[in-house]
Amino acid sequence: MIISETSLTGNQLVQQGESSKTQWVGVDDDFITPPEQPQDKSLYEVALEPQRIRTYLITYVVFNTQTT
């Protein structure tokens, strides 16, 4: 089983979106502390924060081990 987190629309992996995201700079950025995001416990236990929806692409592969 392969689990990948995607953007809300499901058309891009989160890692790709974060790397290509525009980093805006404001005049008061030095005074703002970003909110702490909870960390995932494992691949199968994910942390949710308020007002955030997470989407995943799950690929389930079945291997046929029968011999004929």
pLDDT band at 68 (very low <50, low <70, confident <90, very high): low
**Number of continuous H segments (helices) and E segments (strands) in the chain:** 1, 2
The answer to whether residue 29 sits within a structural domain is no
Please say if the pLDDT value at position 66 is more than 80: no
pLDDT band at 10 (very low <50, low <70, confident <90, very high): confident
The answer to whether residue 9 sits within a structural domain is yes
The answer to whether residue 60 sits within a structural domain is yes
Spatial CA neighbour of 37 closest among 50, 26, 24: 50
Token duo for residue 58: 């799950």
The answer to whether residue 64 sits within a structural domain is yes
The reply to whether the predicted model has a pTM over 0.85 is no
The answer to whether residue 39 sits within a structural domain is no
The answer to whether residue 62 sits within a structural domain is yes
The answer to whether residue 33 sits within a structural domain is no
Q: Which structural domain, as residue segments, surrounds residue 61?
A: 1-18+45-68
The answer to whether residue 24 sits within a structural domain is no
For the chain, the domain total comes to 1
